[in-house]
Copies of this chain bind each other. A is one copy, B any other.
Amino acid sequence: MSFEKIDQLCRKLEALEHSLAILGADEATHMAVGGGEKRAEAMSALAGMHHARATAPEIADWIDTAQQEALNEDQRAALHEFRRQYTNMTCLPTEFVERQTTARLRSEQLWRDLRPKNDWLSFLPALDGIVALVREEAELRAAATGLDRYDALMEQYDPGHRAIDIAPVFSELKTFLKGFVPEALAVQEERLAKNPLRPLSGVYPIDKQRELGLAMMAAVGFDFTHGSLSVSHHPFCGGVPTDVRITTRYKTSDFLSALMGVLHETGHAMYEQNLPKPWSHWPLGKARGMAMHESQSLFVEKQLGRNPAFWEWALPLIEQYLGEKWSKDEILAHVHWVERGLIRVDADEVTYPLHVILRFELEQELVSGRLKAADVPEAWDAKMRDYLGLSTIDTPQDGPMQDVHWPSGAFGYFPSYTLGAMMAAQQWAALEKLHPSVDDEIAKGKFDTVTTWRRDKIWSQGSRWSTPELMERATGEKLNAAHFTAHLKKRYGA
């Protein structure tokens, strides 16, 4: 039976993915400094074996034959998603992939070197090459999937989202935020005039911060029989669903940065831990995509972790673990801090979407050919001035050179961040509508209602539906900006 053949193949692929995931997590957390070269060789060889097996030409026949076999509904869904991913993985000719891999590696290395030097002009030829390759890739993916070119790129990260649907939602959000950012900042100013910010100036021992983080992870629902927390330079959620590795990074002067990071990664981790186990080796049993994944991390970090009710429960824990008493107003002043800035990754939830929308707009133009790489700094600067009142014309390192995405050829990824934020707000609204007293539960440190809803509606669904379908089934409506703007108004508005 062809379905059975694919099932066996999926088990082999899962073994390789498991190995790559653990090797990757280990590299960032426990590897000796001199182990990198051999680790890179091993992982690249394993990735090669995975690619060769996953894209073998005979699989196309297996899919076609399996389609004719007597399959139940789950199997049909599994086969459907398998075909989608096989198409996405096989639509680029080997010759192209090799050219692109070389160019990406060079461009990323160059970027690491030139960004600290603020040297846009030396970087431009490399980016020019990357953009040309991305246009070629978009053509190839569009031809294979029947999608528009930019959509075909997004489809890798965020299956089912189309620019034609996203653009109006982003546009509405942008219009809202251009007015709302000044309002939120004014509210903050007013509050600060009355209550000056209490600085985070203690010395918070790392082992105490770690214990606090573990206590919060356990309360929120992280399963420690299937995961752990450790330390790495860049926090991440890695590993495998049966053994999720999350990391954070501690500063002794500030307990909030590590804690918020832990909550964010806990959101990612719980998605992985609660995926449908019988299908773990098939694409069907995996998380839906980048936007949905980010909605799960932002749900925990922003919808739960920055919710005032959450802090009613959390403040006594801060006192218990760190020995410091904070009032709700004092902590919320930090947790709800808003600030215009140049750097996306440092942005708060109010200003963040403007950074993303800027990139979404520019990369569509880059892919379509309407914008040239050489003209990016001016275009970027114009939008930054328009959206956030800041200029980057003299500091490309804090403008179009700030992210690794473009230098590494990842176009179509940026929207996921803000789609995730909007999806999290819409999920929260749906949940709160069903359970109007959920805030009271959270204030008592009870997260069962939240977890049950998320497990039923999102996690248990794996990749059964496209991202928009999954959202609509979970929340009863299509993705829209209203819940997110309402959330911001409630939390930051006048």
Cβ-neighbour of A15 out of B37, B41, B224, B280 (below 8 A): B41
**Taking the complex as formed, is A192 at the interface, i.e. its CB lies under 8 A from any CB of chain B?**
no
Chain A residues 21-72 with CB under 8 Å of chain B are 22-23, 26, 29-35, 37-39, 41-46, 49
Residues on the B chain within 8 Å of A225, using CB: 32-34
Given A34-B225, A227-B32: A46 touches B15 (CB 8 Å cut-off):
yes
Complex interface: chain B residues within 8 A of A227 (CB): 32
Residues of B within 8 A of A118 (CB): none
Taking the complex as formed, is A85 at the interface, i.e. its CB lies under 8 A from any CB of chain B?
Answer: no
A12 within 8 A of B: yes
Whether A240 pairs with B38 at a CB distance below 8 angstroms is yes
**Pairwise interchain contact A45-B226, C-beta atoms closer than 8 A:** no
Measured CB to CB, the nearest residue on chain B to A273 is B34
Chain B residues, Cβ within 8 Å of A242: 32, 34-35, 37-39
A11 at the interface (CB under 8 A from B): yes
- How many of chain A's residues touch chain B, expressed as a range? 35 or more
Question: Is A18 part of the binding interface, using a Cβ–Cβ cutoff of 8 Å?
Answer: yes
A7 interfacial contact with B, CB 8 Å: no
Out of B19, B226, B241, name the residue touching A46 (CB < 8 Å): B19
Which residues of B have CB within 8 Å of A365? none
User: Do B32 and A224 touch across chains, with their CB atoms under 8 A apart?
Assistant: yes
Cβ-based interface call for A243 (8 A): yes
Closest to A241 in B: B38
- Known contacts A11-B45, A18-B38, A39-B243; is A30 also within 8 Å of B30 by CB? yes
- Nearest B residue to A243 via CB reads B35
Measured between beta carbons, the chain B residues less than 8 angstroms from A34 are 223, 225-226, 242-243
Cα A133 to Cα B242 in complex, Å, equals 36
Q: Which chain B residues border A30 with CB–CB below 8 Å?
A: 26, 29-30, 228, 230
CA distance A30 to B243 in the complex (A): 10
Closest B residue to A227 by CB, please name it: B32
User: Which 4 pairs show the lowest CB-CB distances between chains A and B?
Assistant: A35-B243, A15-B45, A18-B42, A34-B225
Further 9 A-B residue pairs, CB within 8 A, beyond A14-B41, A32-B224: A11-B45, A14-B38, A15-B45, A19-B19, A22-B39, A22-B42, A23-B23, A30-B228, A32-B244
Can you list 26 A-B contacts with CB-CB less than 8 angstroms, sorted by A residue number? A11-B41, A11-B45, A14-B42, A15-B42, A16-B42, A18-B39, A18-B42, A19-B23, A19-B46, A22-B23, A22-B26, A22-B39, A23-B23, A30-B230, A31-B243, A32-B224, A32-B227, A33-B225, A34-B223, A34-B242, A34-B243, A35-B226, A35-B242, A38-B240, A38-B241, A39-B243
Q: Spell out A's residues near B (CB within 8 Å).
A: 11-12, 14-16, 18-19, 22-23, 26, 29-35, 37-39, 41-46, 49, 223-228, 230, 240-244, 280
